[in-house]
Each structure stands twice: as C-alpha cells, then as structure tokens.
C-alpha cells in the first residue's frame, strides 16, 4: 500500500469536480482545523495550504525529477493512513496534484506540512484508509532529488 496513495493521480484529478459550495465547505473545515494549530499556513491559488518547517537547500524540484521522501499522512481527526519512516522514491509527475504542487515549490531537505482539500487529493474516490471527499494532511521531508 506504500505508494498507492501517491501513484493514483491523473485519473483521480480528472474525474472529480465540485461545486463552489462544496469547495467553500472544504475550505471552511480546513480553516477551522488551522485555527486549532500553533502554525501559520499559506494558501496557493489552487486551494492547497502549506507551511515549510525547513526550506531546504539547492535548486527547486522539477517536474521531470524523482524524489525520495519520508512522510506521514493523516486525516483532520488525526487518524494516520500512511507512515513512511524510510525514504521511498517516486517520480514527481506520478503523484496527486497537491504533492506535485508542493514538490515543485520545494528544495532538497525541505520539510513541509500540507493540507490537501479533496479536489487536489483523491476526490470522491474511496481508498482503503481514506474515505471519499476527505481532507488530508501530509508531513513531508524531502531526502533526495534525482
């Protein structure tokens, strides 16, 4: 199940459409969760929330790169759906929209937390440990870029 959550991208992103009301509802839930945290998040135009713990160094990651990362994925209620303590490698172009977006903003050794609304994640598709239309939180550490 290791890469299942990362490698399921283009198909899902292309199949999920939401009304403005639904998008606003997701955003409201995210803002409520952020309000309970001690960290400030930025928001991209697409709706991805992010907070860099460490900016890393070197060049930015490119779409054609592959990266090794350590990460934890959990739901707003804290339920962990995936935890990778050892680095795993994948191509940037093979991940969900939110991961692509944040990776392209990142450098080697960066540490970042992202909050992924459903339209940038798995949308209305239900996975083994992720219900459909779920907001996801990832804590990502970039270990290597190739």
Which tens digit of pLDDT belongs to each residue from 53-70? 999 999 999 999 999 999
In a domain, 47, yes or no: yes
**Residue 101: which CATH number?**
3.10.50.40
List the domain range (segments joined by +) for residue 38. Answer: 9-145
pTM above 0.85, yes or no: yes
Q: Which stretches of the chain are assigned E, i.e. beta strand?
A: 42-43, 49-54, 57-60, 66-75, 80-91, 107-108, 111-116, 136-145
In a domain, 1, yes or no: no
Residue 84 pLDDT > 50 = yes
Q: To the nearest whole number, what is the mean pLDDT of the chain?
A: 91
Q: Are the C-beta atoms of 12 and 122 separated by less than 8 Å?
A: yes
Average of per-residue pLDDT across 86-112: 98
In a domain, 21, yes or no: yes
Number of structural domains in the chain: 1
Least confident of 16-20, 28-32, 86-90, 98-102: 16-20
In a domain, 92, yes or no: yes
In a domain, 3, yes or no: no
User: Residue 63 CB: number of other CB atoms within 10 A?
Assistant: 10
d(CA 146, CA 119): 28
Residue 7 pLDDT > 50 = no
Q: Percent helix, strand, coil in the chain (nearest 5)?
A: 25, 35, 40
Q: Are the C-beta atoms of 50 and 105 separated by less than 8 Å?
A: yes
């Amino acid at each position: 199940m290791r890469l299942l959550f990362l490698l399921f991208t283009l198909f899902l992103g292309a199949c999920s459409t939401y009304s403005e009301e639904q998008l606003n509802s997701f955003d409201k839930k995210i803002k409520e969760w952020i309000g309970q945290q001690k960290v400030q998040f930025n928001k991209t135009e697409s709706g991805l929330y992010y907070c860099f713990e460490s900016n890393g160094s070197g060049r930015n990651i490119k779409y054609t790169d592959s990266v090794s990362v350590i990460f934890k994925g959990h739901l707003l209620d804290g339920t962990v759906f995936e935890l990778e303590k050892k680095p795993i490698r994948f191509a940037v172009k093979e991940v969900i929209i939110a991961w692509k977006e944040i990776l392209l903003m990142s450098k080697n050794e960066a540490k970042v937390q992202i909050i992924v609304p459903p339209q940038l994640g798995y949308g209305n598709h239900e996975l083994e440990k992720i219900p459909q239309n779920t907001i996801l939180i990832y804590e990502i550490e970039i270990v290597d870029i190739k």
